[in-house]
Structure 1
């Protein structure tokens, strides 16, 4: 948007050289965005298992529980949530989430600090992180899916916002991103040849170096991987549509087939619904 504004200013001032330069900047910006959002990679071929993931920020636990339960009942195999409060857990249980997703790993907290996982498949709980000083919450578990040679690792991530509260700072956000990177590398070691799926609110856009640092060691962003198109998620509770993409599903040793965003009543983030292909036997 800034590049386009610069081009319009240059045109209105009739500065030929500046107009040419500004047009070049706009062209490069568009090329970068198109390559990220619209040019996906070839999907996994051979035998694979689809895992449908819903990732949602609950906005201090205020998201509509009945909407989430009804949405996931037909469209998801696992659910990752952030800003999970004890009260939100009770409302989701009352709305029937346990009937569809009998397995869970939850670390609730007041405000924005909680996170959790619900699953149709049994979970083997891994050590989890919730550290306000580190600026990140990450519950994680092995996903015990019948027929897969290697158990996938599933995690929910919430890197605390750098601007949302008194305790949140830019330095704290940077610390949270470093901690998230450490955890992602740890999950890669735990999973070995198995898949890793990590959904959550990273409070980071693809333009930020700290987020791109996460896309190493085999990790990919599901939107970029599938070429699903521009997928802004925040803010979703304004009169204008969402502007930035700060919620992501990351994969490793797997391939995102599709990703779409869904407006969730009561939340200020759109949820992500992703279909992830996991190889039955990656060594075959």
Structure 2
């Protein structure tokens, strides 16, 4: 038996892992063409797309064990495709400026968004952790009535202007001249629009917490969230101000095709993967900062708080 194995030509070894590598490369390159099949399969695949790069070391390990140049060469395909798709996230700093986080000054704003979690055991400590970024705007989601005084006590001294509607809230260093509930679903109390008089002129700030998605036996249940996105897009299309910020927990991973209607109108502030959920071992970025007329110069995540999400931060030109 061992002599037969030694007699197998090297070009006949590793065809299975090599074939899987080629299929993975094709699925990554053509991720927009993966069908939903009524269960949001394509959306689910795009949600885990950054992790598709793990195929490469697995195939290379198989190539070493099988001494297969075929598998090793095939691993190059998903590696190149993955690098072409995600490499730009690790390229030059946003906006040509420094990539290190810091306080906004002059014509810049530092903004933070955080789903603080309705069951957060330390809301005051969470708020203080956000102030480390020296933010000019802080958007919070899942702000309960019981926790609101703690957030106010920590944030009001630094950010004098505040609006809260339902379970979302916005703190601002600059005057908030108008605020209203944003109706993206009947009875929905998890979104607002505020007008802020920033250093570079007025800007519209949207804070949104979209419907959750679930992975069930029936598929990736994202219909409610997608309807929220559609309503949010309609509101943005009617927005009269040129400068717009959208902050919040959109319950959609960065690569999910469901976000395309938003990212075709607003530019994501992203640097690296910026995973925000779950906080203990982040696997996806579902908390987003998107802009129009406010180019991002830096983007990063803050350390974990008492929430199951991590805060996302960005610096933008005002």
Instruction: Quickly name the TM-score band, shorter chain normalised.
Output: 0.7 to 0.9
Report the TM-score, using the length of structure 1 for normalisation. 0.78
Residues 160-203 of structure 1: CA deviation (Å, up to 9, x unaligned): 211299xx94211211221222233233xx213xx211211111
SS of residue matched to 2:150: helix
| 1:76-155 alignment, distance < 5 Å | 76-93=135-152, 95-108=153-166, 114-130=167-183, 137-146=190-199, 148=200, 150-155=201-206
| Cα RMSD (Å) | 2.9
* Separation (CA, whole Å) in 1 of partners of 2:221 and 2:189: 13
The alpha-carbon distance between structure 1 residues 173 and 19, as it changes in their structure 2 partners (threshold 3 A), is: farther
| 1:1-284 alignment, distance < 5 Å | 1-5=51-55, 8-9=58-59, 11=63, 12=65, 17=70, 19-43=72-96, 49-60=107-118, 62=120, 64-73=122-131, 75-93=134-152, 95-108=153-166, 114-130=167-183, 137-146=190-199, 148=200, 150-163=201-214, 169-187=221-239, 190-192=240-242, 195-217=243-265, 219-223=266-270, 228-237=271-280, 241-278=281-318
Residues 11-42 of structure 1: CA deviation (Å, up to 9, x unaligned): 25566555534421221112211113434553
SS of residue matched to 1:152: strand
**CA shift at 1:73, angstroms?**
4.1
* Separation (CA, whole Å) in 1 of partners of 2:123 and 2:202: 29
* Separation (CA, whole Å) in 1 of partners of 2:69 and 2:54: 15
The alpha-carbon distance between structure 1 residues 161 and 233, as it changes in their structure 2 partners (threshold 3 A), is: same
**CA shift at 1:57, angstroms?**
0.5
Report the TM-score, using the length of structure 2 for normalisation. 0.70
The alpha-carbon distance between structure 1 residues 135 and 40, as it changes in their structure 2 partners (threshold 3 A), is: farther
The alpha-carbon distance between structure 1 residues 63 and 22, as it changes in their structure 2 partners (threshold 3 A), is: farther
Structure 2 unaligned residues grouped into runs of 5+:
1-50, 98-104
1:126–1:142 Cα contact (<8 Å) kept: yes
The alpha-carbon distance between structure 1 residues 210 and 135, as it changes in their structure 2 partners (threshold 3 A), is: farther
Give 1:282's aligned residue.
none
SS of residue matched to 1:233: coil
* Separation (CA, whole Å) in 2 of partners of 1:173 and 1:15: 45
- Which one has more relative contact order, counting CA pairs under 8 Å at least 6 apart? 1
* Separation (CA, whole Å) in 2 of partners of 1:169 and 1:136: 21
Greater Rg by CA? 2
